Chain A
Amino acid sequence: MLNSDTVIRGQFFSPTSPIQGEPITAYSESTDLVIAGIKNSSELLRLPLIALKPRYGGFNREQVYFDWESPQGEVCSVCFSAKDAELLMAQAPATVVQSYQQVHHEQTKRKRRSNIGLGMLLFYLGLPFLLLLVLFWKSHQIAAWIADYVSIEQEQALGELVFASATDGMKLRQTGYDYEVLKRIGERLTQGSAYQYHWYIADTAEVNAFAVPGGYVVANTGLLKAADSAEEVAGVLAHEVQHVEQRHTLEDIIYRLGWQTSIALIVGDVSSLWVTQAATQLNSLKFSRELEAEADLKGLEALHKAGIAPQGLVSFFEKLAKDEANLGIPAFLSTHPASDQRSTNLKNAIKQQEGWSTIPLPYDWEQVKAALPAK
């Protein structure tokens, strides 16, 4: 009689059964395994469990085979899924299923080892991509974290190098009335800074200003000419100074070097002279939009602290936005956030700052402009 609650399906293999086996049902009864449903046989096949040789088999070892030899010396086998075998064996007394328990235990151990191995293999294969992902996701944070370990002295030494290469071929000067004004505005903005600032004027018509790590700030005469008041120049300077104060350039250099190193490591092409490439790219001194936005806001704070009216920064951006529309995008703005957006953000930030007491900058801007070289 079949035990109704534990009907378990399996495959039966004997020399007379088809190659894929024949479907049977099985249950365990005291110390025997009982197999029902064998073709050409109306009788139940009753096998003593202790005589069966269990093993895991099949393509992925997901079945349990119980092999035995028939009285005629033929090898027969019955196979169950691992789960069903466990159910069957759970019902039999422990003493007769010892060999199954052992095989089961070994298989579990093997599977665990295999899983660990497979995991390690996948991890190893995926490691470069994982690194790349982390890098992509946390690149700026990593760069900032590394930048924290660079001392100001080291940064200044680096700044000297970068300054030399960035200003190669530029006409720089530290003389003239316009320079004096620039320097005084700059000093007011950088009071109490850990950096030693150097101010320069470059005789170029391009509307641009830039800062190099360690406190080198260069303003073009084109910028001074385009400005309508000292406050506008102060706004731009406040922005550029924040690139130094917030160590944006340093972070950017580390960021680029880091990317190139990791790409070289992953791609394996170390021969592509990444060091020189990185060095040449330093000249461009471009920042991400996030960094620009940060410099805008921190620059605003610096203006606040120095008591300079912030409207200059906004009006200068608005002027540039107009130029952007008329003349195409000036170099100064090429990687900067759209000027429109920036002035809106700045206006909002100004509104939030309360009690803005300003001391007007005591320079006659027309006089400064007049002092600029003619060309």
Chain B
Amino acid sequence: MSSMDIVDYQIFGQDSQYVEIELDPGEAAVGEAGAMLFMEQDILMETVFGDGSASNQAKGFFGKLMKAGGRLVTGESLFTTVYMHQGRMGKRKVAFAAPYQGQIVPMHLSQLGGELICQRDSFLCAAKGVSLSIAFQKKIGTGLFGGEGFIMQRLQGDGLAFVHAGGTLIERSLRPGEKIRVDTGCLAALMPTVDYDIEYVGGLKTAFFGGEGLFFASLTGPGKVWLQSLPLSRLANRIVRAAPGGVGETSVLGGLGGAVMGGLFGDD
């Protein structure tokens, strides 16, 4: 039933993880450029324009260009690297490392309805055949204040994909109509069935002194969502603030301005 390569994997590490993928002869995995940690003999590394998925090959040159452009917008590079086991026999391993402290989550796209939306830049690696594209946030309020910006990443296919996010990842299954409110920026991934909106924190006092900003992200089921406990932007902000002479995000206005710009360009 599947045109995807089925891969075995193992995730190592606690806070700084890497994933080891085992390939049978002829099988391939695609990795985000720069994410590869090591690979064994017989594995051939080939860089392709776009994401190496079948849907990519079907379209003409212009289609390829558009898709690759989409990758650029979501913070990935124009090229992906395909790691293929070219040997005759035996299993060979290739490993991909997370770029910062956090967790790697395996996503079985076939069990998730074939589609997943995640935050920009969170794709790590996948079985060959998983396609990557833009999920454009059309709700202006969510785009501006939802913490993930207007552009997110859409993974499609029925294979296995590995997504990386900061801190500890929390997986939540939401029943139909069940709603959770999340600090903006902490959303790592969601199924397309989940409604992603913003909600005013309520009350001027809370808005300005509650420390959570003006809006929550509100997520309504059905579907699964993945939350990250420590978005990279927050970590970076703390580091900047702690650095000698560093100026952190201190004023209320600065926070608001940051939210707007972050919303536009995706600060996570």
Contacts and interface: CB of A to CB of B under 8 A. Distances in A.
A61 B193 contact: no
Interface of A: 11, 13, 15, 18-21, 53, 55-61, 63, 65, 67, 75-77, 79, 111, 114, 117-118, 121, 125
A19 B196 contact: no
B113 interface: yes
Contacts of B151: none
B191 A19 contact: yes
Given A19-B222, A21-B222, A58 B195 contact: yes
Given A58-B195, A75-B176, A77-B176, A20 B112 contact: yes
B150 to A, nearest CB: 9
Contacts of A56: 195
Contacts of B196: 59
24 contacts: A11-B193, A13-B176, A18-B111, A19-B111, A19-B112, A19-B223, A21-B193, A21-B222, A57-B193, A57-B194, A59-B190, A59-B192, A59-B196, A60-B135, A60-B138, A61-B139, A61-B195, A67-B176, A75-B177, A111-B138, A114-B139, A114-B141, A117-B140, A125-B264
Given A19-B112, A21-B193, A77-B222, A60 B139 contact: yes
Contacts of B173: 19
Contacts of B85: none
A58 B221 CA distance: 8
Contacts of B117: 59
Contact of B192 (A53, A58, A67, A121): A58
B131 interface: no
Nearest to A60: B138
B220 interface: yes
Contact of A20 (B111, B135, B143, B220): B111
Given A13-B175, A58-B194, A60-B135, 5 more contacts: A19-B222, A60-B136, A60-B137, A75-B175, A117-B140
A58 B194 CA distance: 5
Interface in B112-143: 112-114, 117, 135-141, 143
A70 to B, nearest CB: 11
B164 interface: no
B153 to A, nearest CB: 12
B138 A118 contact: yes
Contacts of B212: none
Interface residues of B, number: 30
Contacts of B138: 60-61, 111, 114, 118
B71 interface: no
A57 B113 contact: no
A229 B138 CA distance: 74
Given A58-B195, A59-B190, A114-B140, A21 B175 contact: no
Nearest to A65: B176
A114 to B, nearest CB: 5
Given A67-B177, A77-B177, A59 B140 contact: no
Please give me the 4 A-B residue pairs with the lowest Cβ-Cβ distance, nearest first.
Answer: A20-B113, A77-B176, A57-B195, A117-B140
Interface string B184-219: 000000111111100000000000000000000000
B224 interface: yes
B8 interface: no
A218 to B, nearest CB: 54
A114 B137 CA distance: 11
Contacts of B40: none
B178 interface: yes
Nearest to A114: B140
Contacts of B136: 60
B240 to A, nearest CB: 23
Nearest to A117: B140
B139 A13 contact: no
A81 to B, nearest CB: 12
Contacts of B176: 13, 65, 67, 75-77
Nearest to B196: A59
B223 A20 contact: yes
A111 B176 CA distance: 23
A64 to B, nearest CB: 11
B135 to A, nearest CB: 7
Nearest to B137: A60
A334 to B, nearest CB: 41
A21 B112 CA distance: 9
A290 B84 CA distance: 59
B106 to A, nearest CB: 15
A225 B138 CA distance: 72
A79 B140 contact: no
Contact of A15 (B141, B175, B192, B193): B175
